[in-house]
Amino acid sequence: MKNLSLNFDNNYYLHSNDQKNYLKKWSNFYINSNYKNLNLFLGYQFFEDRKNINDGFNWNVSYQFNLANLKLFIQSRKYTEPFHPNLLNEKNSDFQFFTDNKVSLHYNSDKLSLTTSIVTTKIENNLVSSPLNFLNFDLKYKIFPSLSFYSKITSQIDTSFFGIGGGEIYEIGFKPKFLLFNKKIKFECIVYVDIFNGFSSNYGYNVISNIPNEIELEENIKIDYWLLNFEADVNISSAKLYYKISNILNAINPDDNSSLVYRNYIYPRLGRMVEFGVEWHFDN
């Protein structure tokens, strides 16, 4: 073993409930080491009280195998996080437990880069004990030196209501780039489409409590949608100008309600978003 280390730390957070303050404490003891392509993390979490029915063992073990243009990555981990204070009550554990496993295969060449991975996660707390399974693809292809294509796909391959609510998320785009005025100006842009398909129509996400929930009101039911977006960067010496626009169709016709996006029932329907800025980096 190389780089062996032993660590111990104390943690706490304070939350209020029913006009009372509660101080939650826990401690971590862990060992971290690595050997060649193997990384090992083992630890134990000591809770302040025994309201937690799960043990406090945590781990993070990963291994990477390289062969020519291929890279295989395997990881298994178990970790613990405190509950959001809004979800705590006398029946809940103060913590929730996650166990996930990941296997990914990456291929890389001069023109093509392809990564595929499978991720399985199990969540355990007093509200839910739910398995989540995801299949991911990440493709990049250089069509010409000045033009490349990319695609990202995330698919939930289980029937759990947690995660992203089932369905798939696609991002597909083109990235042209040019050198102008004797290579003194570098111009890059991205034209891409975001597609959200196959989600549970009654899937909602509480961004305050950080948990999914079921939509009950019919007017809040969501449908599949897609967005056309554009980003551009211009680099001139040490300065960079950038322009971004999300949901181009709404920018072209802002009076068309069909181009509004309903991403979360908590917020109103969204139209376009435009960003413009300048970054200037100085020496010294």
Look at residue 227 and tell me whether its pLDDT is greater than 60: yes
Most confident segment among 57-61, 92-96, 131-135, 189-193 = 189-193
Q: What is the pLDDT of residue 20?
A: 60
Asked whether residue 172 carries a pLDDT value surpassing 80, the answer given is yes
Please give the structure tokens belonging to residue 140: 């990049």
- 3-state secondary structure string, 62-86? EEEEEECCEEEEEEEEEEEEECCHH
Report the alpha-carbon distance of residue 33 to residue 236 in Å, rounded: 45
State the pLDDT at residue 77. 94
What whole-number distance in Å separates Cα of residue 85 and Cα of residue 93? 11
Q: Does residue 176 register a pLDDT over 70?
A: yes
Residue 210 has pLDDT above 80, yes or no: no
Give the residue-averaged pLDDT of 234-252: 88
| pLDDT of 91 higher than 60 | no
User: 15 vs 25, 50, 79, CA distance in Å?
Assistant: 12, 19, 22
Q: What value does the mean pLDDT of the chain take?
A: 82
Instruction: Extract the tokens encoding 181.
Output: 């005025």
- Asked whether the beta carbons of 197 and 171 are under 8 A apart, the reply is no
Asked if 227 and 251 touch (Cβ cutoff 8 Å), the reply is no
Kindly report, residue by residue over 256-276, the tens digit of the pLDDT.
777 788 766 667 778 888 899
CB 145 within 8 A of CB 110: no
- How far is the C-alpha of 240 from the C-alpha of 26, rounded, in Å? 46
5 band by pLDDT with thresholds 50, 70 and 90: confident
pLDDT beyond 60 at 50:
no
259 — phi, psi (to 5°)? -90, 0
pLDDT at 97: 83
What average pLDDT does this structure show over 51-70? 83
- Predicted confidence at residue 59, as pLDDT, reads 93
pLDDT at residue 138, rounded to an integer: 97
Question: Of all residues in the chain, what percent carry a pLDDT higher than 90?
Answer: 37
> Any idea of the CA torsion for 200, 137, 81, 97, to the nearest 10 degrees?
70
For the chain, the first-to-last Cα distance in angstroms comes to 42
Q: φ, ψ for residue 266 (rounded to 5)?
A: -75, -30
Q: Is the pLDDT of residue 92 over 60?
A: no
State the Cα–Cα distance between residues 167 and 60, nearest whole angstrom. Answer: 29
d(CA 154, CA 167): 9
